[in-house]
Amino acid sequence: MTSRLRQALADSHVAAVTVAVFLVWALDSACRGLWDPVYRLGAFVFTGIAILDIPYISANPTTADRLMLIVTGYYFYSAIVCLLGAGFVSRWVYGMGPFRCLMLCGRRLTGREDA
């Protein structure tokens, strides 16, 4: 049963689409997780340039700082889970990693079987 299911998923390219969606979700989550820290770093640098001095940073973390760390951690957790999901599906169906299986499926779709 599972062998036929794997073969059906591989032949219909449903598994490849699932792996691609998982990888896109992982990239999206990683970018969203980096957005707040990079934005705050950029604001710090541009403020320092604008006032020609080192901007003030409070020694005590505020509620906004804690919330930013929680949200960033959630997005990185989501990115890791999506990467693990892509790896699990690709290894279960194709027996190889997610990027390699997408390259193989791309070659099959374009008609180049020299994989």
Give whole-number Cα distances, 55 to 46, 52, 100, 107, in Å: 10, 9, 47, 53
**Number of Cβ atoms within 10 Å of the Cβ of 69:** 13
Q: What angle in degrees, to the nearest 10, is found between the helix axes of 14-51 and 98-110?
A: 120
Summarised one tens digit per residue, pLDDT across range 53-102 is: 999 988 898 999 999 999 999 999 999 999 999 999 999 999 999 999 99
Range of the domain at 30: 2-110
How far apart CA 68 and CA 87 sit, in angstroms, is: 29
Is residue 51 one of the residues assigned to a domain? yes
Question: Total structural domains in the chain?
Answer: 1
Summarised one tens digit per residue, pLDDT across range 17-41 is: 999 999 999 999 999 999 999 999 9
Q: Around 1, how many Cα atoms within 13 Å sit in the side-chain half-sphere?
A: 0
Is residue 115 one of the residues assigned to a domain? no
Is residue 37 one of the residues assigned to a domain? yes
